[in-house]
Each structure stands twice: as C-alpha cells, then as structure tokens.
C-alpha cells in the first residue's frame, strides 16, 4: 500500500508521466511519421521538489563522452560501450593521460569483437603487413565520430606504429560512412572493390556476409596483442565456432559489454538507491537474454560482459547482500 500511495502523489505522477512518454518515444513508437523517429537516447534529471539544483542525472550514453559527463558532474550514472574504454580511463592509458576515479555498478552483457575486414583480393593477413607495406589503402570507418570505435582503432593502429593520418600520407583514403558495417557503401564497397578495408564492431551484422563473398579478417599478432593488453584492451578471437566458413581463428580485441558506471566518490546511499531501482525493475528492462535481467551475472566479470573496472563499494555491498556475489 505504501508503494501504491507514493505512486499516486502529484509530484510522482507528473514525473512518471514524463518518464513513461520518454520510454515509449525512445522505442520509436510514433506512427504516422514519414521518417523513423530519430530521438532514442535519453538523459534524465532528478531533484527534490522546489530545489534550485538538479541533484542526479542518468545518461543513457554509449561512447566516451559518457566519461567526460561523469567526471564533470554533468551525469551521475552513465553507460559506455565497450568496457575497454573505461579500462583505459581508470588506468590512465590510451587517450587518458592520468587515471580517472570511475567505478562500475554492473555491466549489460553483449559479446562482440573489433573486425578488420578486407576484400578477397587483399594480400595482407595482419595489421603488421599494412604497417610494413604502407599501401594506398582505402578504409571505411563508421561516420559517428564520437563512437568508441574510433578511440579503440586509434590505439590499435598506434601500437602498430601508424595512424589514419599516415594512411592518407601513403596516398590512401580514410572514409567516414554514415552506415553500419553492413551498409551498401561499406560491406557493399568491400564486395564491389571500392573499399579495401572495413573497420567496425557489430560483427553479427557483417562477419558472415564478408566470409561468404571471400573476404577475410586481418589478425593482430602476439606482440601487438600484448601491447594492447598493457593499456587495458582484452584479446579475443573471431572463431570458426561462431563463423564455420572462416578459414581459421583470427585474433583481435574485445568490444563487449555496456558497463553502467559512476564516480568512485559518489555517495553510497545514492549508489545503493540506483541498485535498488535496477533490482526492482529488472523484469521491465530489455536485454539480450530471456526473461528478467540476470543481475546475478551482470555484477561479475564474464566473456559477454567484461568488468574491466572495480565495482563501486556500495554496489558491491548491495549485490553481495542480494546473494549475487560470494
């Protein structure tokens, strides 16, 4: 009864109205529009009624800008994909000159890898070949310039001793295409010969099709895998188990997981409240599995949901109280 009573308070009803409308619109449920509803990402602010300042902000983000939002205080909780970006931020490696005090709440599982797909005619088998040969290669990258893809690709190329600017100095071409990797200008370009190399994640969208028309994936060799591990990027293989037509397993770096995170010094009570909200609404939140969210596996390090940074102490205590951690 107390919960029902709180739900019907005027201040609660007004907030729930806006949250439910935002939830519906974020799904794109707007019949009658000529084009698809484009606004899917949300930022939610909370404060006490009558307060001058907004006290909390939940940012349904996906890329490195989420780290800036958390560190500046513009967001209290945010999401980043993949967890490898947070690993670099906490270590103070890659594009982060010093360690940042970030902590995880949990991680939504989604297994993925970074793929370097080349056309059937390509003679290279690894990124080392490209670094040594310096060919006039035509590369297609995702057009969303704030995507984590670009941060991780820059680090992978850096440990190999070259950059995208270097590619252009070799009389190559670097394109930023506003398509997913399976788009007509990207995978289509790889197939028709207008692109030599597509770099992207979201492997289920394009790995099988690339292999079907004779394309291959470039590997990252052992010394460079070790160098990438030193900065926080995990090694992972594109395997024949996943894609049976693949000639052999190919080593690359991981692009898995959507960690929810905050600052290390965020108040324990606020973090606990966020965890309670997750626990109470886990049957309403979509994820890639069946049934209610498996929070018991989302607060641990797994293949599908790498936990590359420590849990916030209040989150760890809450999940332990729930019996999810031992």
Dump pLDDT digits (tens) for 213-251: 999 999 999 999 999 999 999 999 999 999 999 999 999
Query: Does the residue 24 lie in any domain?
Result: no
pLDDT at 14 over 90: no
Query: Does the residue 302 lie in any domain?
Result: yes
Token reading at 195: 């692109």
Q: Give the pLDDT of residue 156.
A: 98
- State the angle between helix axes of 148-159 and 83-91 in degrees (0 to 180), rounded to the nearest 10: 60
**Which of 219, 253, 287 marks a domain boundary?**
253
Q: Are residues 199 and 131 in the same domain?
A: yes
Q: How many domains does the chain have?
A: 2
pLDDT at 2 over 80: no
Q: Are residues 180 and 102 in the same domain?
A: no
Question: pLDDT category, 4, cuts 50, 70, 90?
Answer: low
Query: Does the residue 238 lie in any domain?
Result: yes
For 258-298, the pLDDT digits (tens) are 999 999 999 999 999 999 999 999 998 989 999 999 999 99
Q: Are residues 122 and 94 in the same domain?
A: no
Q: Are residues 220 and 261 in the same domain?
A: no
**Which of 203, 229, 253 marks a domain boundary?**
253
Q: Are residues 128 and 182 in the same domain?
A: yes
pTM of the complete model? 0.92
Residues forming beta bridges with residue 59, ordered by sequence position: 43, 78
Query: Does the residue 149 lie in any domain?
Result: yes
pLDDT at 110 over 60: yes
Q: What is the mean pLDDT of residues 108-119?
A: 97
Query: Does the residue 276 lie in any domain?
Result: yes
Range of the domain at 235: 115-253
Q: Are residues 95 and 186 in the same domain?
A: no
Q: Are residues 194 and 215 in the same domain?
A: yes
Question: pLDDT category, 1, cuts 50, 70, 90?
Answer: very low
Q: Are residues 223 and 131 in the same domain?
A: yes
3-state helix, strand, coil in the chain (%, to 5): 35, 15, 45
111 and 303 in contact (C-beta within 8 Å)? yes
Compute the half-sphere exposure of residue 325: CA atoms within 13 Å on the CB side of its CA: 15
**Minimum mean pLDDT range among 27-31, 79-83, 147-151:** 27-31
307: domain CATH number is 3.40.190.10
DSSP, collapsed to helix, strand or coil, labels residue 248 as coil
pLDDT at 197 over 50: yes
Q: How far is C-alpha 155 from the geometric centre of its chain's CA atoms?
A: 16
Per the rule left: phi > 0, alpha: psi between -120 and 50, beta: everything else, 291 is left
Query: Does the residue 175 lie in any domain?
Result: yes
Q: Are residues 196 and 233 in the same domain?
A: yes
What is the C-alpha to C-alpha distance for residues 154 and 118, in angstroms, rounded to an integer? 18
Neighbours of 46 (CB within 10 A): 12
Q: What is the mean pLDDT of residues 114-132?
A: 97
**Which of 253, 268, 294 marks a domain boundary?**
253
What is the C-alpha to C-alpha distance for residues 223 and 159, in angstroms, rounded to an integer? 9
Q: Are residues 190 and 141 in the same domain?
A: yes
Q: What is the mean pLDDT of residues 48-61?
A: 93
Query: Does the residue 18 lie in any domain?
Result: no
Query: Does the residue 3 lie in any domain?
Result: no
pLDDT at 104 over 70: yes
Q: Are residues 180 and 94 in the same domain?
A: no
Q: Over the Cα atoms of the chain, what is R_g?
A: 22
Residues forming beta bridges with residue 79, ordered by sequence position: 260
What stretches of 35-166 adopt beta strand conformation (E)?
43-46, 56-59, 77-79, 102-108, 115-118, 138-142
What is the C-alpha to C-alpha distance for residues 27 and 31, in angstroms, rounded to an integer? 12
pLDDT at 23 over 80: yes
pLDDT at 3 over 60: no
pLDDT at 103 over 70: yes
φ/ψ of 176, rounded to 5, equals -115, 100
Mind spelling out the 3-state secondary structure of 262-292? Answer: EECCCCHHHHHHHHHHHHHHCCCCCCCCCCC
What stretches of the chain adopt beta strand conformation (E)?
43-46, 56-59, 77-79, 102-108, 115-118, 138-142, 173-177, 197-200, 216-217, 235-238, 250-253, 258-263
Question: Is residue 15 classed exposed, middle or buried when 0-12, 13-18 and 19+ CB atoms within 10 A define those classes?
Answer: middle
pLDDT at 147 over 90: yes
Q: Are residues 176 and 267 in the same domain?
A: no
Query: In 3D, which of 171, 136, 166, 144 has the Cα closest to residue 154?
Result: 166
């Amino acid at each position: 009864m107390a919960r029902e009573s709180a739900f019907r308070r005027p201040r609660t009803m007004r907030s729930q109205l806006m949250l439910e409308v935002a939830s519906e619109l974020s799904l794109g449920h707007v019949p009658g529009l000529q084009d698809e509803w484009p606004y899917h990402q949300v930022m939610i602010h909370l404060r006490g009624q009558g307060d001058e300042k907004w006290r909390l902000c939940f940012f349904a983000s996906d890329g490195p800008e989420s780290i800036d939002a958390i560190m500046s205080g513009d967001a209290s909780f945010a999401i980043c994909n993949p967890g490898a970006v947070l690993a670099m931020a906490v270590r103070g490696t890659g594009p982060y000159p010093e360690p940042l005090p970030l902590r995880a709440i949990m991680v939504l599982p989604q297994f993925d890898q970074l793929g370097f797909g080349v056309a059937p005619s390509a003679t290279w088998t690894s990124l080392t070949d490209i670094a040594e040969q310096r060919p006039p290669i035509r590369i297609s990258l995702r057009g969303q310039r704030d995507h984590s893809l670009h941060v991780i690709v820059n680090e992978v190329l850096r440990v190999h001793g070259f950059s995208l600017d270097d590619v252009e100095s070799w009389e190559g071409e670097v394109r930023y295409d506003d398509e997913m990797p399976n788009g007509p200008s990207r995978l289509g370009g790889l197939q028709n010969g207008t692109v030599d190399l597509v770099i992207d994640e979201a492997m289920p969208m394009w790995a099988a099709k690339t292999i079907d028309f004779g394309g291959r994936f470039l590997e990252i060799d052992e010394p460079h895998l070790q160098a990438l591990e030193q900065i926080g990027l995990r090694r992972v293989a594109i395997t024949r188990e996943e894609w049976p037509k693949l000639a052999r397993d190919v080593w690359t770096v991981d692009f898995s997981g959507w960690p929810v995170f905050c600052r290390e010094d965020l108040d324990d009570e606020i973090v606990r409240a966020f965890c309670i909200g997750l626990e109470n609404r886990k049957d309403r939140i979509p994820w890639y599995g069946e049934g209610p969210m498996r929070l018991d596996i989302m607060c641990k390090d797994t293949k599908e949901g790498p936990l590359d940074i420590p849990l916030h102490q209040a989150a760890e205590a809450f999940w332990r109280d729930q019996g999810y951690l031992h």
